[in-house]
Amino acid sequence: MTLETILPPERTLFAVPGGSKKRVLEFFSTFIAQNTPSLDSQEVFDRLIGRERLGSTGIGNGVAIPHARSPHCNGPVAAFLKLAEPIDFDAIDGEPVDLVFVLLVPEEADDTHLALLSQVATVMNDADTRSRLRHCTTQRELYETLIEAIRRQGT
């Protein structure tokens, strides 16, 4: 399983209103529940917030990778959000976040979960990739740039 197979173009969102970590996670939870009948927005939000309480998923360089397990998730679900304005995400380097890669996996998907998180981290740790994503001006360009980066990383 690769990131490319679980990230369709319609889940790559451009100029998402930020405001706060909580608002971004609420936005994603509502968005994903509207597009995935088995998921409940409040349950997704509660799981993502629960994971954040264990430690911020802001990995630095303006990137966050919120992720959680869900018993109602039938398979891995990914979304990528480029925020309209950077927000405080309690990132490890203290920098505001504007690139958010969200990952939901089924409750029992241990190896898959870790492999997908590793793929996301590898792609998002590349400075050139982050710069190109930040310079995108449309949703389509954002998706194509991200998929190209995923392919380049061999994931």
Q: Which tens digits make up the pLDDT trace of 52-64? A: 999 999 999 999 9
For range 106-135, the mean pLDDT: 91
67 catalytic? Reply is yes
Mean pLDDT taken over the chain: 93
For range 114-119, the mean pLDDT: 90
Encoded tokens for 56: 């911020």
* Residues 36-91 pLDDT 10s: 888 999 999 999 999 999 999 999 999 999 999 998 888 899 999 999 999 999 99
Encoded tokens for 12: 């790559």
In order of their start, the domains of the chain are: 3-152 (3.40.930.10)
| pLDDT for position 60 | 96
φ/ψ (deg, to 5) at 94: 80, 0
Of the residues 67, 72, 113, 135, only one is catalytic, namely: 67
Q: What is the pTM of this model?
A: 0.94
